[in-house]
Structure formats: C-alpha cells, structure tokens
Amino acid sequence: MKEIEQLIEISRKYGRDSRYVIAGGGNTSYKNADKLWVKASGCALATITEDGFAVLDRKKLNVIPEKTYPADTAAREEEVKNDLAAACITKDRRPSVETSMHNALSAAFIVHLHPTMVNGLMCGQNAEAETARLFGDEAVYIPYTDPGYVLFKEVDDRIKAYKAKFGKEPAILLLQNHGIFVGADTTAEVEAIYDRVLSTIEKAAGVSLPEGDKPVCDCVQEVLPAIRMMLSKQGIKTLRVRNNALIERYASSESEYAKVAAPFSPDAIVYCKSKYIYLAAADKQALLEQAQTQIEQYVAANGYTPKVLLIKGIGLVAVGDNAAGCDIILDVYEDMMKIAAIAQSFGGEHPMTQRQIDFIDNWEVENYRRKVSAGGASGRVENKTIIVTGAAQGFGEGIARCLIQQGANIVVADLNETVGAATAERLNGMARSNRAIFVKTNVADTESLRNLIHETVCRFGGLDVFVSNAGVLRAGGLEEMTPENFEFVTKINYNAYFYCAQAASRVMKLQNKYAEDNYGDIIQINSKSGLRGSKANFAYAGGKFGGVGLTQSFALELAPFRIKVNAVCPGNFYEGPLWSNPENGLFLQYLHAGKVPGAKTVEDVRKYYMDQVPMRKGTGPEDVTKAVLYLIEQTCETGQAVPVTGGQVMLS
C-alpha cells in the first residue's frame, strides 16, 4: 500500500533526526475512511516497519469522544485503554496512547514529534503569547493537560472550536511542555509545515547552541568508579559521562543548575525521573563525601537511585540499569538543557509542576513505555564492564564475543585501529542493552593504558574485569633468537601484564572501597607454555612462566582489596590466526624453526600438535571464556593458573 510506505518513510526520516526525536519519542499515523495506522508503543520511529504500526477500526474509535467515562482517573484511563484495545485490529500491538488525537484530526497523515526547537517555545513562560505572535491563526495552542483521555478531550474541543470559527481544521497543534502535531493529506505537505515551523521558531529564538563534545577531566578516574559503587547497592549500574559547552554552563553554579533542576516534559520524567543531583565540591575527597551524602538522602527520600548527576568540573553523568539506558538518559537530559537555553528567548524556562510530575510518574502508560525502553541483557556477566586487550581479532576477539553474549559491556583494546573498530561494531550487532567500544591501546605504554582506563570510565563508569590477553610470539632457539625479538616478546607478554594490572587495580581498589561485597578480577590469558617449557620457544615460554609468577604475586598483594588475580592457560587454538596465518602463523614459524623433527609441511606440524592432545581437539575462545566466567563468578580462589588444554597439560 503506497500510503503506508510513505508513512514509514516520513517516520524514519524524523525518527533518525535528533532535532525532532530523542529516545524514540513521538508517533505518526495514516488514516482512510475505515482504518487508522498508528505507531505502536515501544516501536522506534527511526527503524519502524509496517509491523510497527497498530491498525484500528475507526468506527470503534469514533465512539470514544462521545462516551461518558468515570471521573476517577485510574478507572477512566483503564476503560479508555480497554476501548482502544477493542478498536485494535492488530491485537499483538499496543496502540499509542495518543491514538484518539490522531483520529480527531481528519488529515490523512499526522506526525507528532517533540522537536527541541519547538519545545524551547512550548516550555517558555510566554509560550501562549509567543505562539500567537509567531503563527497567528495557523496554529492551535493547547495549555498543558495531563496525557491520556483528558488531553484528548481538550484537543478535540479546541479543534471543534477552531473549525467553528474558521471553517476548517488546523494543520498545527502546539502543546505546552509536550510538542507538536502536524496534519496534512500528503507527507510532502507535512514536511513543508515542519520546515516552516522550525525555521520560524529558530529565527525568533536567535539562539546558537554549542556543538561538539569537550574532553572529560582526567580526574574522572578518581571519582566516577566510587560514585558508581555508591549507586549500585541494589545491583550493578552503568554510568556514562558527557561534557560540552552547554553542560559546562549548567554545571557551573547552583543558579545555573536550578534552570534544569526540574523536568520540562513527560519524556524527561520517563527516562530521567524528576529529581536530579548536583555536585560541586572543591576537591576529590570532598566531592566523594558530598556524593555519598546526597545519594543516601536521595534514595531514602525516593526509594530509587537517581538517573542524572551533574558534576561541576566533570560533566553530565547518566546512571543506567544498562549501557543503552545511559545513552537515552544523556540524550534526553542534554535536550532539556537545550530547551532551557532556547526558552530564555520566550520568557524563561517553564518546568512542569509537582502535580503534573506525579501524574506522569504514576501513570500506567508511561510505566509501560519506561519498561519497554529499558530493554535488558541477561547473562553470567550482565552489566559488568570488561576490558579485553588484543581483542581486535583472534583469541581476544573470540573471548570478547563470548562475553558480550553473556551481557557484559566490552572494551576492545588493541593497536589495530581499523580491525578493532570493526570488531566493536560487530559486537554491538550482537549486544542487547549492553555495548562495546574500541579504544586504541598499546599495552606496553603506560600513558596509553591510562587513556584506556579513562575512556572506559567515561563510557561505562568503572571497571569490573580486566582480561590481559594481548600477546606476541617469536619462535626460535638459542642460536636464532635475536636480542631485539627476545626483548619485544618479553615486553608485551611479561612487562605489559604488570602495566595492565597496575592500571586496572587502581580503579578496582577505588570501587571496592565503596562496596563492601564487590570483587574485581584481573585475568591473564597465559598459555600451556606458562606451565611447562617449550622447545625453540623460550622467549614466549619465559614470559608466560613469569606471568604465572606475577599472577601469584599480584594475587597476594591485591587480595585485601577484594581483587582476584588469576590466569587461564589455554592449549593451542589451531584455527586462530596466531597458529593458522599462512604468512607468519605458528605452524609456519615452527616448521621453519625445525621445532617438529621430520616435519616437511605445515600439515605435518599441525598433526604433530594434535596428536599430543588427549581430548583430540584444539582450545577455542569458547573453552577459555568458560574458565574466565568461572574465575569471575567464584570468590574463593586467587593466584591460580587454570589449564584449559584438552588434557595436554595436567597440574600435579
């Protein structure tokens, strides 16, 4: 059907543009004489398909305006919801709560959005007068009314009054603290109206909003992991920080923060709640003390943790049940800041009242939307943040892939920027509400590792597990091995493990100081060559033997801080590039090094190694990840070197 294709196209156009839609808000519809297609609750405009629209019988919808409903709010809204459900032809899709308003306008296409520029006007103190000045009789202004049936009746009455006065329906409805409805018989007309409305408001506002993010203070590493634990008493939280010129403005003082201390729209309440925390202590310790006091008071007063912290000198911090939730919270609250800045041109900001806030907070429809938007991952490391070094490809990529499927947020740390970024993107395609990022990292460089920790803390709020996987191998006997190759292998496989453990443990110590039952994990992906010698491979084996010694020593030092340090010692991953790369894989290196007596081909080398494995199989990333998950979950072992070798190496 051509009209539905046009509806999908215009929905996606606006849904993908953050100037019009934040966090999937807004809804669209098409109607003919008999049916109404309207966006279903929980579907995002940006990616909507035909299945994302609920289809309703207009004859049954037309009964709703004429029906008398109970005076009691809860009973009335429940009955309206049931009537909407009864009108719904597609029983598996819950129609938007604003369906009746879409039906009240006779235009074929209705597009309801929450554009930042429009809400800058609608959330201004002088919204009604400014609407009349800017749009005259072209638009109908709707003063703030609680969503649901009451709002529909208000809109319906004003549409009828407009028709009685002008002999036609309005094309534009502007709703105080809520957004805009535009109706027309073609999508081209809808787009033209939206362009005209936004350009008119933008010209009248004369506000230039700053663009682009600014760096987050290095001090975030010494603050945010502790605050994350303060907020994680009832389950681990993910935090994300964002900084830009607008955020700095509203975080600069109590008076500036006061302008964004209360929500302007229902969306802000759904995603960010209605109360926030502002922190502005002079130094790190004072800031942590202030945070602890305010968080405890907030939870005691409200029964839940805050979603938004604004920290002077650091930025805007989202507190989410998962990483996807953090992204939404940041976008919605930053949009609030933009609205506040624009509203200054229209009499100053006009937040919602406490009564209006309470209605939204307790409204079943918004609780449903909040639940749908929250999403959720599930798995053995759900919502934990895990760095995996050397994760762009090979064993590290396999471990990262397995862990993201178990609900973890993954930081792909690798020197290979092109492959690493592609790996993170691929992992995000597997994620649910968890996320993966890539951070270019040289594990042998302490400044690079400091940046890795900084980016991890900024993106996820802390660090739960550090998997030190990055490693290199240069095979060769005493005669062939050069000092340069020996030093290179040792620097990556031995020295870098120390650098990584040092960087990771600082964050974990800080976290555990503020969470008495929390544990951190540092896990080295070692090798069976770390458990027994390896002929013509002493540089690699020596570094790995040393890694076991470091593991045991780190474990003793960090145990009082509830940081477990263990190693996993895999057997041979024959299918991975370390072994099978046709240009410099281990099969080829071992053939040239003469490590396998009598071997003439790469296949001879492969068979030689497989014959040594009792289980007759190589060790893949899935096998190693099972050991990693065990080490994370248990709380009574540290300093262990766990062999995962198919029986090739057995501990005595």
pLDDT at 366 over 50: no
- Residue 59 CA: distances (Å) to CA of 31, 83, 520, 600: 12, 12, 61, 82
* Three-state SS annotation for 434-447: CCEEEEECCCCCHH
Min mean pLDDT across 79-83, 423-427, 515-519, 633-637 is at 79-83
Average per-residue pLDDT in the chain? 93
Percent with pLDDT over 90 in the chain: 76
Residue pair 564/521 in contact (Cβ under 8 Å)? The answer is yes
pLDDT at 224 over 60: yes
Crossing angle, helix 417-430 and helix 394-404, to 10 degrees? 20
Q: Which two tokens stand for residue 322?
A: 């998962």
CA 340/CA 325 separation, integer angstroms: 23
Q: What is the pLDDT of residue 538?
A: 82
Characterize the bridge pairing of strands 277-279 and 172-175. unpaired
Q: Which two tokens stand for residue 193?
A: 């109206």
pLDDT (tens digit per residue) in 495-534: 999 999 999 999 999 999 999 999 999 999 999 888 888 8
Q: Which two tokens stand for residue 13?
A: 């156009």
Compare 476 and 320 and report the one with higher pLDDT.
Answer: 320
- Residue 41 CA: distances (Å) to CA of 5, 371, 372: 19, 11, 8
Q: Burial of 398 by CB count in 10 Å (0-12 exposed, 13-18 middle, 19+ buried)?
A: buried
Residue pair 621/395 in contact (Cβ under 8 Å)? The answer is yes
pLDDT at 456 over 90: yes
CB count within 10 Å of CB 295 equals: 20
> pLDDT tier at 431 (50, 70, 90 boundaries)?
very high
| CA-wise closest residue to 524 among 502, 544, 506 | 544
Q: What is the pLDDT of residue 268?
A: 94
Residue pair 179/265 in contact (Cβ under 8 Å)? The answer is yes
> pLDDT tier at 239 (50, 70, 90 boundaries)?
very high
Q: What is the pLDDT of residue 609?
A: 85
Give backbone dihedrals phi and psi of 263, rounded to 5 degrees, phi first.
-70, 150
How confident is the model over 327-336, as a mean pLDDT?
97
How confident is the model over 604-610, as a mean pLDDT?
88
Compare 573 and 592 and report the one with higher pLDDT.
Answer: 592
Between CA 364 and CA 369, with CA 366 as vertex, the angle to 5 degrees is 115
Q: Which residues contact 593 (CB under 8 A, 6 or more apart)?
A: 475, 476, 477, 480, 536
Element (H, E) at 355: helix 354-362
pLDDT at 30 over 80: yes
Q: Which residues contact 636 (CB under 8 A, 6 or more apart)?
A: none
Residue pair 595/536 in contact (Cβ under 8 Å)? The answer is yes
Q: What is the pLDDT of residue 377?
A: 52
Q: Which two tokens stand for residue 507?
A: 């964050």
Q: What is the pLDDT of residue 375?
A: 54
CA 611/CA 599 separation, integer angstroms: 14
Q: What is the pLDDT of residue 282?
A: 86
CA 186/CA 170 separation, integer angstroms: 15
Crossing angle, helix 446-460 and helix 496-513, to 10 degrees? 30
CA 310/CA 174 separation, integer angstroms: 31
End-to-end C-alpha distance for the chain, whole angstroms: 72
Q: What is the pLDDT of residue 369?
A: 47
Q: What is the pLDDT of residue 370?
A: 47
pLDDT (tens digit per residue) in 243-255: 999 999 999 999 9
Q: Which two tokens stand for residue 382?
A: 């759900």
| CA-wise closest residue to 266 among 138, 135, 373 | 373
